[in-house]
Amino acid sequence: MSRSLSPADRAIHQFDNVLRTLVPGAARASRPTPAVDTIHDGEMSPDERHHAAGLMRINHTGEVCAQALYQGQGLTAKLPEVRGQMEEAAQEEIDHLAWCEDRLRELNAPTSRLNPLFYAASFGMGALAGAVGDRVSLGFVAATEEQVGKHLDEHLETLPEGDKRSRAVLRQMAIDEAHHAQQALEAGGARFPGPVKAGMTLMSRVMTKSVYRI
């Protein structure tokens, strides 16, 4: 029989999640990277490598935000099955986090120094959505994953032609994100209206513009 966690246990578990998300090298993927050894990059100029690194840094920060969002929602979700779904999705997002970090390392590029700021903001939004109600929380997941999917599609179009390893990672991430969005809607998530989604798009643009360089 599973033991219920005490407040101290939950605090320790939450702190471990923060460390795994924000400390470079701490995240461990449960699945192998899609950029397998048989996939080799083509020729890329220094400018192309710089652009590829900027895009992958954006995607890495996006996964930091996703982890914070799911952790915040899982903390305040009311139904155990919703909490479990958040934890399952968060594990797949850990894979994405580790894959993006590995690719940045291959490109000799750092992760964003703004990650702690975006983590805190996303955790707060996730906790607030979870506190409002599971239907809103799941709807927020669906809308967020929809935004992430759009970013991934844009990045797949603008990646340098020679960057085949980043492309392999982003294609699998796009598949996973679409699955998470569909799961959230099927679980009863609310479909957010257009103006709310437009606001989320504006916020995501602020993140991408800053993280590309910092």
92 assigned ligand-binding residue: no
Residue 47: partners with Cβ closer than 8 Å, 6 or more residues away:
none
Q: Report how far residue 177's alpha carbon sits from residue 206's, in angstroms, rounded to the nearest whole number.
A: 21
Q: How far is CA 196 from the centre of its chain?
A: 20
63 assigned ligand-binding residue: yes
81 assigned ligand-binding residue: no
96 assigned ligand-binding residue: yes
Q: How far is CA 6 from the centre of its chain?
A: 28
48 assigned ligand-binding residue: no
Kindly give the residue spans of alpha helices, DSSP state H, lying in 107-133: 115-132
Q: How far is CA 134 from the centre of its chain?
A: 20
Q: Report how far residue 208's alpha carbon sits from residue 214's, in angstroms, rounded to the nearest whole number.
A: 10
180 assigned ligand-binding residue: yes
Which residues sit in the known binding site?
A: 63, 93, 96, 145, 177, 180
Which residues sit in the known binding site for Fe cation?
A: 63, 93, 96, 145, 177, 180
